[in-house]
Amino acid sequence: METYQQKLAAARERVEEVTPEALNVAAGLILDVRTSDETALGLIPNAVTLPMDRVKAEIRSLDVQPGDRIVLYCAVGERSLLAAAELLDAGYTNVASLAGGMKRWMSLGLPTTSPSGLSDLSRRRYARHIVMPQVGIAGQQTLIDARVVIIGAGGLGSPAALYLAAAGVGTIGLVDHDVVELSNLQRQILHGTADIGMAKVTSGAQRIREIDSSVSIQPHDTMLDSSNALGILGSYDLAIDATDNFATRYLINDASIHVGVPVVHGSVFRFEGQLAVFKPHETACYRCVFPDPPPGDLAPNCTEAGVFGVLPGVVGTMQATEALKLLLGIGEPLLGRLLTYDALSQTIHTVRLKRRPDCVACSGPPPPLRDHPEYC
């Protein structure tokens, strides 16, 4: 094994070093490879921040050509040497490291700028959000700080997870205890053929990291039940009910009322989908609308009833839409409304939902959680 000092010596042999006095900050790309804690204290003017461990993976997202000038810097000029050597290996030919790093830059009294809340990389990634007044930099920062849990990494959870990750939601919890099966792939686009046999939360986390490695994925490889529901839901800002069974749906509803977390509910059956947003003690809850599940023989799950493959794509994407609206506080979320979607006729209807004064879940203090093995 090469030691750090040996790696550094090898990099110093290959990488050009420039002095702070000789650095032209107006030419080429100036890349700050320090951590966000370090860059918060100030940057070299025009520098773009990209932490060292992400340089190799994300340099392409900065639109630089292999021959373009790239000068990297860190605190003292060591990490930047190593990262520059990685860029040489990746085919970038005009790469240099700032000798002495930010420490030397500041000791010479050269100018620095204070970074804005969003890194340059985030500004570029979310440029189409940031230009919209309804989102802007503040809204994007809200999404980055948000925590959303998706219960069910299947047909509905797949598009919801993909779009929330792409939109910049910073922490995404995935709850599922199943493994990927061949018959899932007709609709569960979070998973691929190579993932068959893998835990869905593992496969889903891998796919989300391909979209954005900075999203924090919290895999919960477990079945949601009365013993863990409060702990899981209670550590998020928002829950997406992407389950396929009534037992979990009622449990999510009851737990959400205990912990005060809004739920974006979705369900699919053959060609029909349903969507609603339940906000504890403000809108009707799932039990206000459906006090009891249908009897087992009238409530076939997806396996038995079949589902048009694209339908959960539509409904799960609508769930992501509602989640983003709720987090940003924009538009008119489906609060206290039930949307029904018919894929065959391509029609959408919404109806208002009333709170039930005698609802067992939300009219008084919420009852203790219990599992419903009798529900399908």
Kindly state the smallest distance separating residue 217's Cβ from Zn ion, in Å: 32
245, with CB counted inside 10 A (0-12, 13-18, 19+), is middle
169 binds Zn ion (CB under 5 A): no
C-beta separation of 375 from 246 below 8 A: yes
Kindly state the smallest distance separating residue 288's Cβ from Zn ion, in Å: 3
Sole binder of Zn ion in the list 23, 102, 233, 361 (CB under 5 A): 361
Site string for Zn ion, 316-355 (x = CB under 5 A): ----------------------------------------
Which is it for strands 95-98 and 347-352: parallel, antiparallel or unpaired? unpaired
362 binds Zn ion (CB under 5 A): yes
Kindly state the smallest distance separating residue 279's Cβ from Zn ion, in Å: 11
C-beta separation of 54 from 78 below 8 A: no
Sole binder of Zn ion in the list 83, 288, 328, 353 (CB under 5 A): 288
Kindly state the smallest distance separating residue 359's Cβ from Zn ion, in Å: 3
Of 96 and 362, nearer to Zn ion (C-beta) is 362
Kindly state the smallest distance separating residue 332's Cβ from Zn ion, in Å: 21
Kindly state the smallest distance separating residue 293's Cβ from Zn ion, in Å: 14
Q: How far apart are the first and last CA of the chain?
A: 56
59 binds Zn ion (CB under 5 A): no
Which is it for strands 29-32 and 147-151: parallel, antiparallel or unpaired? unpaired
Looking at 89-97, 150-158, 283-291, 319-327, which segment touches Zn ion (CB under 5 A)? 283-291
Distance between CA 261 and CA 281 in Å, rounded?
Answer: 10
Of 118 and 285, nearer to Zn ion (C-beta) is 285
Residues 6+ apart with CB under 8 A from 208: 161, 162, 165, 172, 190, 215, 217
Query: Of the candidates 273, 266, 287, which has an alpha carbon nearest to the alpha carbon of residue 364?
Result: 287
Q: What share of the chain is helix, strand, coil (3-state, %, to 5)?
A: 40, 20, 45
Query: Of the candidates 184, 287, 244, 200, which has an alpha carbon nearest to the alpha carbon of residue 376?
Result: 244
Beta strands in the chain (DSSP E): 16-18, 29-32, 48-49, 70-73, 95-98, 147-151, 171-175, 216-220, 238-241, 263-269, 272-278, 337-342, 347-352
Of 14 and 370, nearer to Zn ion (C-beta) is 370
C-beta separation of 159 from 167 below 8 A: no
Distance between CA 185 and CA 189 in Å, rounded?
Answer: 7
Half-sphere exposure of 184 (CA within 13 A, CB side): 27
Kindly state the smallest distance separating residue 356's Cβ from Zn ion, in Å: 6
Of 257 and 314, nearer to Zn ion (C-beta) is 257
Instruction: Enumerate the β-bridge partners of residue 337.
Output: 352
Of 133 and 364, nearer to Zn ion (C-beta) is 364
Site string for Zn ion, 242-281 (x = CB under 5 A): ----------------------------------------
Size of site (CB under 5 A) for Zn ion? 6
Kindly state the smallest distance separating residue 292's Cβ from Zn ion, in Å: 13
Kindly state the smallest distance separating residue 355's Cβ from Zn ion, in Å: 6
Looking at 68-76, 121-129, 265-273, 356-364, which segment touches Zn ion (CB under 5 A)? 356-364
Looking at 76-84, 105-113, 287-295, 311-319, which segment touches Zn ion (CB under 5 A)? 287-295
Phi, psi of 129 (to 5 degrees): -80, -45
Sole binder of Zn ion in the list 202, 287, 325, 334 (CB under 5 A): 287
Sole binder of Zn ion in the list 285, 307, 315, 334 (CB under 5 A): 285
Residue type at 68 in one-letter notation:
D
359 binds Zn ion (CB under 5 A): yes
Q: Under the rule (CB under 5 A), what is the footprint of Zn ion?
A: 285, 287-288, 359, 361-362
